[in-house]
Structures are given as C-alpha cells and as structure tokens.
Chain A
C-alpha cells in the first residue's frame, strides 16, 4: 500500500486502542483497509479466527466491523428510526416495515448512547453531533465487535463528549474492541488502553498509554530526520503586505484572527484539520466574507465580499480541493490558466486565443508542466501537474498575496520539490506567500515564520527556526499555549 508500509496493528476485545499521527501519517488508509474500502498490497488481516488477505465492505460489516466517520452517512430526509432500521439489516424489498418495533429498537439504542433524540425526528433536523450519536447507535445496534471512531469528539460539546466517553467505556466493558482516532491527547489519556503512533505511513510503536507522557507522544509523532532539503530563504522580508485584525466569520468558524504577512516571506500556517486555516483563506478570498475585523493590503483598508474583489485587490488563492476548486478537469490547461484574468487578458470580453496559448505555453515551460500541449484537458494530468496549472492560474493574476492551501498534497516527490522551488522563487521576487500545510516537514522547511491555528484562531506565531515539537504542541494546544 502506497500510504502504509508494513504496519502491524493489533486490537484486543474489550480494549480501547488509540491511533495517533499527524495528517497524512496513514491513519485513514489503515482504517480503509480494516473496513474493506481498500485492499492492502501485502499483509494479512486476522479478525477473530479468520485470516484474510482483504475484505469487502459488505464482508467487513458481516464480521462486525463498524466505522463512525466525522461525516455521518445518514439519509437526511428519513427519520432517525428509519435510518437505524435501514442500517441494522437491509430489509427485504416488499416486507412491511414493523414501524413500532423499529421505533422501539431506535429508542433503546438511543438511550444506550445517551442521546436525547426523538426517533421520529428527520435526520436533517439534527445537529452534527446528534447525527454522530445516531451513527454510534447504529453501530451498537448492528452488534459490532470492532468499532472504529474517527475523531468522534471533533464537534461535540463538553457534555456530549462525556456521554461519548461513557459509550466508549460501555463498549469496552461489553468486550468490543474500539479503535479510537483522535488528536486530543487528553482524550487518549482518559480513554485509551494502548496507543499506536503512525508516522509517514509506518508504525513508530505501540505502547500502553500509562507508560507515556504527553511529551513522549508528541516526540513519537514528529521526531524524524528532515531528509528533504528545502530551498532556503535568500532575502529579508520587506514591507507588510497583509495585515489582519480581529477577523471573525461565524459561518467559517473563524474568530479574532490577527495576522501579518510581509513581502518576500513565506508564512506557514500550521494546525490540525478543522483548526480554521482553510476557512480563514476563504474569508480572505471572499468565498465566505468576514463579519467583522479589518483587512489591510499594503496599508490600505480593503473590503472583500466576493472572489472577484479579492482578485482585483491582488489576493490569489490556490485551493485545497484541487479537483473541485483548483482546476476544471474537463477544460484545457490554457483555459484553466486564463480563467481568473479574463478582464485583463481579454479586454472587451473578446477571447484572444493566440495570447492565451502563449501565456499557457510560458507557464508550461516556466513551471515544468508535463502535458502534450496547452489544449490538453486538466483531467489528463497527474496531481502534481494539475497543481502547477492551478498555481499558474493564480500567478497570472500577478497577485500581491498568494495563499497556497496544501500545495503539495497528493503530489509526487519530484513535482513536490519543483513546487517548493517555485514558491521560494516567488517569495524572492517579492510576493507575500501564505502557505497552509498539514505536512509538518514542509511547514518547517519552507516557512520563514509559522502561524499556528487552533479552534478558529491564531494561537501562536513561531519563528522560522521552530522545531516540530513546538509546532505540534501549539497545534494541539498543549504546553501552556493559549487556547481560544
């Protein structure tokens, strides 16, 4: 498996086994193997008495493996009871659904989970945490022996978290094995018996939780040789290009953000998934405009209500979701590259195909995009080349501030270093770069300064020489750094 290398993992009945690791360490891939969504290239899965090379989702379900994701897979327009009924066992097509019995079962399961939810409520009326509890009820109801929980407390209140812990302990007492993925070390200490730490697709060790300290855990997560060389900064940063004060956006879950980015510098933005980094980028780019706070670009106060506003102010955003927002796969590279500069490149709305082709060829050459020509559809390219196209589009706007959101995610090693080189070049030329990344070595290696976000606000700004431990601690909210 590309994302996992020789990982061994063991779960005992009646155990809560935590799985720890930073973004991209391989946790989701391991889970996909266990639930049958992915077949491993090598290795053996032993479930109970059975030894298997691989699983299908149906087989996994039959063996009693249930997984509760952050995004509940419920049907929004059916009631809770109906959803539970559908999930417990697929009813035969023309069977009459025993509504009363179904409702009873739902009530029973909801009670076990401690959820105060009416079985007749339609799922779309429930909050996300409530939907999660319904998912857990489904898992309980289907008699799972192995329950995997992927960041279950991410959106729960304190009270709900306590309920959840109770459920987890309940499961453990009943001999169910729980795989518990979480970034919250305090939870791991509270709930888990053992913890396995993954790093770069490998298992770094399995320990009894009581044998570890916080610090030791973090060290396991990040400690590594920085084998890759990153292009170093060659110049001093210049004037402040972007200045944020008190930026708040309820819809994006961002509040009270203060930040500064200078010309010629790469400000890395670290933090866990859900900390608010992409949300902040979306505020700056006008997708979800700020409710309050001030944005200053090169000293001038600006108001950004739409992406067009952002672009005309000189802000460019290379989105995280490359295939959905970064590149339109069905359209040729040339069209993608020029998409943000129509008013400038094609004054009077008349398309100038020659000009467009020239521009595309320039970028293809300068960024080393591997394609048979500017007319190749975006969908033909590899992830790395698609990312280069995405970057080209935004470079064409000649921005003052370039926001990169996970610039090398899903990109092969070769393209990765090319992109890093390009980013450093851009900074050298005076561009202010805000680089959101969950790749710790990348953040450490590329950034001149590192801002860390947690819970929707910036909790720390570290100097360039900071080490992984500091960054991860700030991201996790440990070591006394203020938490919003």
Chain B
C-alpha cells in the first residue's frame, strides 16, 4: 500500500500542474483562433493588468491555505485599505507613497487581528475571517459614509495602474516581485517548510519544536499586507477609491489557489500551481470576451464572456477537485470486482 501511495501522490502532484498547463495551452489555442486579437500585445497586457489584484490575493492566500487555514477577509481588507488610502491622500494631503505605505500597514493590522484570533486564541479560521470579512467592509463603508469615493489622484500615481515599464504594465512588475517573494518564502525558507508541516499536522509540528502560533500569524499578517498593496494598485488603475473595492475577490483568489492544486486541508500545494491557476482563470475571462464571431444562447460569446467564464471556472473547480476521489473510487471498485 505504501508504495502505491507514494507513486500516486507524486504523479498526482505532477499531474495537476501539467494538466493546468495543458488547460492554459488549450485556452490560448482556442482563443487565438476563435477570438479577435487575443494574442495582441495590448490584450495580453490587459489580461494581466486587469487581474493583478486577484493574482496578488491568490498569492497571499497560498501560505494561509497551506497551513490549513483560510482567509475570507482579504477582499474586504482591500476595501478598507483602498478607502483609507483615498482619505489619506484627499483629506490628509499625504503623498500617495506615504498613504500607500500606511494603507499596507492597515492591512497588516487587519491581518494581525485575524492572526490574534486564529493563531493565538485558536478560533476557527472560517468563522473568524467571516466576521472580519464583515467588519473590514463595514469599516470601509462607515469611513466613506456609505457613498463617498475618492478620486482626483495625481497623474504619476495613476501611472502605477495604467502605465507600463519596458512594455509591461507597471503593476505586473510589482506582481512579479511579490510572486517571487512568496515563492521564495514558501519553497525556500524554513517558514514555508513549517507552513506545510503545520498544514499536515499541527500537533506533529509542535512536537518538532516549530513555533506554530507565530508562523500561522505570519501567514495572516502577510495576507493583510498584500491585500493592502492590491488595494493601492486597484485604486491606481481605476483612479477611484471606493468602499466596494475588492468585493468577491476572495472567492476568486481561493478558486485560483485550489485550481492550482493546493489542498484546502493544508500541507500540499505550490506557488507555481497558484500562479497557473490564476493565469488559467484570467485568460479564460479575457479570452471569451474576444470571441465575437461565434454565438452561444443566441448571443455573441463576447457579450456573455463574464458569465460564461464564471460558470466554466466553477465547473473547472469541481472537476479539478473530483478527479482524484473519483479515480480512487473507480480503482477500489475495480480491485474489489477482481476479488
């Protein structure tokens, strides 16, 4: 039993990233043939420019889920940080740089709250982050009195969200830096190693001398910080800071992470997988919106791109999850019949 376990585990891991690459390849082929100007450099730029925030949240979510936890509050955190940023620039007259750093600090504080409740008080992450999901969004709404939005930011700040450096959108560079950072953290530091250990066995990790509460706290604080960064980038892109920034993003982030092969129970998963999952989802949304020549449900696909990509993403998620257990069930049935 043990030998087959190791072989299948390894092959599944390998399979997941390979399958995702295949999916991405299929998407690229499909959309470039069926769609208009899919492979255009502007379009490719846009794919990533418009989805960087989700990619960042997916990166932020990966260490959290690796430890066996979850953070539903990252989207709401974005709202709070966005609004705070807006206030600091517009009303307190701070420079976008300083305001941005403070916004990230607010994200860290929010992550700290999650960390306190989850890692120190050992409360269930799902419900704690459900509470902070409401609290952070609520604070954002309260700060803006439910309706106010901030705009009129300096041109140079807006470049962050709308400009490019060396042909690549500015925020994508930032994203790449964060991706590299998270990758190194998860795969090349003792912290990352401990995240996995904690995800597989919190008790076992404790007995090995790993400071479990401290390391779990780190994941939530990092998630908060990255949410703050994503908020600033979003504001720069839209030119507007509103309380509803980031609504629904946490779910997209979780989708990307799980699609990428990370187990929601913790322990196994890779940053590469998350990135591939994110790319697969980002391409899907954009690609469908470029198909004008074909119709589905009596409408050009491009006009129902958002809905279609949403549905396909949901289905893709289910298929991705169901493959392993289904295979196992079929295998047991087969072996049982042989006896």
| A161 to B: closest C-beta gap in Å | 33
A339 touches B208 (CB 8 A): yes
| Assembly CA distance A311 to B211 (angstroms) | 12
Q: Are A330 and B200 in touch, CB under 8 angstroms?
A: yes
The docked-state distance in angstroms from the alpha carbon of A100 to that of B75 is 51
Pair B3/A349 contact, Cβ less than 8 Å? no
Is the pair A381, B190 in contact by a Cβ cutoff of 8 Å?
Answer: no
The proximity string for A residues 342-370 relative to B, scoring 1 for CB distances below 8 Å and 0 otherwise, is 11001001110000000000000000000
Among B6, B9, B190, B210, residue most surrounded by chain A Cβ atoms (within 10 Å): B190
B120 to chain A, nearest CB (A): 14
B207, A307: Cβ atoms under 8 Å?
yes
Is A117 positioned at the interface, with any CB of B under 8 Å from its CB? no
In the complex, chain B residues 200-252 whose Cβ is within 8 Å of any chain A Cβ: 200-201, 203-211
Contact B190 A351 (CB under 8 A): yes
- Assign chain A's interface to a size class: 20 to 34
In-complex Cβ contact of A342 among B190, B207, B267, B268 (8 A): B190
Can you sample 21 A-B contacts with CB below 8 Å?
A307-B207, A307-B209, A310-B209, A325-B203, A325-B207, A327-B204, A328-B208, A330-B200, A330-B267, A339-B193, A339-B209, A339-B210, A342-B190, A342-B193, A346-B190, A349-B190, A351-B190, A351-B193, A377-B5, A380-B2, A393-B208
Q: Report B35 CB to chain A, min CB distance, Å.
A: 42
Asked if B278 is at the interface of the complex by the 8 Å CB criterion, the answer is: no
For the complex, what is the distance from the CA of A57 to the CA of B310, rounded to whole Å? 48
Contact B206 A351 (CB under 8 A): no
| B209→A377 contact, CB < 8 A | no
Q: How far is the CA of A457 from the CA of B209 in the complex (A)?
A: 26
Which chain A residues lie closer than 8 Å to B188 at the CB level? 350-351
Q: Is B85 an interface residue (CB 8 A)?
A: no
Q: Which residues of B contact A285 (CB under 8 A)?
A: 207
Q: A328-B201, A339-B205, A377-B5 are in contact. List 12 more A-B contacts (CB 8 A).
A: A307-B208, A324-B203, A328-B200, A328-B204, A335-B197, A349-B190, A350-B190, A351-B187, A351-B193, A379-B5, A380-B5, A393-B208
What 8 pairs across the A-B complex have the smallest Cβ distances? A342-B190, A325-B207, A339-B208, A349-B189, A307-B209, A380-B2, A349-B190, A311-B209
A342 to B3, CA, bound (A): 29
Contacting residues, chain B, for A319 (C-beta < 8 A): 207
Please, how many angstroms separate the alpha-carbon atoms of A51 and B74 in the complex? 64
Say whether chain B's binding surface is mostly helix, strand, loop, or mixed: helix
Q: Let me know if B200 and A379 touch, CB within 8 A.
A: no
| Chain B contacts for A376, CB-based, 8 A | 6
- Report Cα–Cα, A350/B184, bound state, in Å: 9
Q: Which of A339, A340, A346 has the most CB of B within 10 A?
A: A339
Q: Is B196 at the interface (CB under 8 A from chain A)?
A: yes
Contact B9 A377 (CB under 8 A): yes
Q: Is the CB of A220 closer than 8 A to any CB of chain B?
A: no
Chain B proximity of A388: nearest CB distance (Å): 16
Bound CA–CA A308/B190 (angstroms): 15
Residue of B nearest to A372 (CB): B6
B191 interfacial by beta-carbon distance below 8 Å: yes
A233 at the B interface (CB under 8 A): no
Cα separation A205 to B28 with both chains bound (whole Å): 77
Inter-chain contact A339/B211, CB cutoff 8 Å: no
CA distance A474 to B59 in the complex (A): 59
**What's the nearest-Cβ distance from chain A to residue B69, in Å?**
17
Given the interface contacts A307-B207, A325-B203, A325-B207, does A335 sit within 8 Å of B193 by beta carbon?
yes
Q: Which residues 299-323 in A have Cβ within 8 Å of B in the complex?
A: 306-308, 310-311, 317, 319
Contacts of A335 in B (CB 8 A): 193, 197
Which residues of B sit under 8 angstroms from A307, Cβ to Cβ? 206-209
Whole-angstrom distance from the CB of B182 to the nearest CB of chain A?
14
Segment 92-147 of B: residues with Cβ below 8 Å from A: none
Contacts of B200 in A (CB 8 A): 328-331
A279 smallest CB distance to B (angstroms)? 14
Q: Is A11 an interface residue (CB 8 A)?
A: no
Q: For residue A346, which residue of chain B has the nearest CB?
A: B190
Taken together as a complex, chains A and B put the C-alpha atoms of A326 and B187 apart, in Å, by 23
* A462 neighbours in B (Cβ, 8 Å): none
The answer to whether A350 and B211 have CB atoms under 8 Å apart is no
Whether the Cβ atoms of A324 and B189 lie closer than 8 Å is no
A317–B207 Cα distance when bound, in Å, is: 8
Q: A287 interface residue, CB < 8 Å from B?
A: yes
When chains A and B are docked, how far (Å) is the Cα of A393 from the Cα of B189? 18
CB of A350 within 8 A of CB of B189, answer: yes
Pairwise interchain contact A340-B201, C-beta atoms closer than 8 A:
no
> Smallest distance from the beta carbon of B261 to chain A beta carbons, Å?
14
Please name all residues of chain B whose beta carbon is closer than 8 Å to the beta carbon of A377 when the two chains form the complex: 5-6, 9
How many angstroms from the CA of A126 to the CA of B155 in the assembled complex? 68
Expressed in whole angstroms, the minimum distance between the Cβ of A405 and any Cβ of chain B is: 11
Q: State in angstroms the CA–CA spacing of A186 and B325 once bound together.
A: 53
Q: Are A308 and B211 in contact (CB under 8 A)?
A: yes
Q: Which residue of A lies closest to B192 (CB)?
A: A351
Distance (Å) between the CB of A352 and the closest chain B CB?
A: 9
A328 to B191, CA, bound (A): 16
User: In the bound complex, do residue A349 and residue B191 qualify as a contact, i.e. CB atoms below 8 Å apart?
Assistant: yes
CA distance A393 to B210 in the complex (A): 13
Complex CA distance for A165 and B192, rounded to whole angstroms: 55
Q: Is the CB of B208 within 8 A of A380?
A: no
A478 CA to B223 CA in the complex, in Å? Answer: 60
Complex CA distance for A84 and B337, rounded to whole angstroms: 39
> Do the beta carbons of B2 and A330 come within 8 Å of each other?
no
Residues in chain B near residue A342, CB distance under 8 A: 190, 193-194, 210
Taken together as a complex, chains A and B put the C-alpha atoms of A319 and B201 apart, in Å, by 14
Q: Is A308 within 8 A of B207, CB to CB? A: no
Complex Cα distance A376/B9, Å? 11
Of the candidates A311, A325, A350, which one forms a contact with B204 in the assembled complex, judged by CB atoms under 8 Å apart? Answer: A325
Report Cα–Cα, A349/B193, bound state, in Å. 10
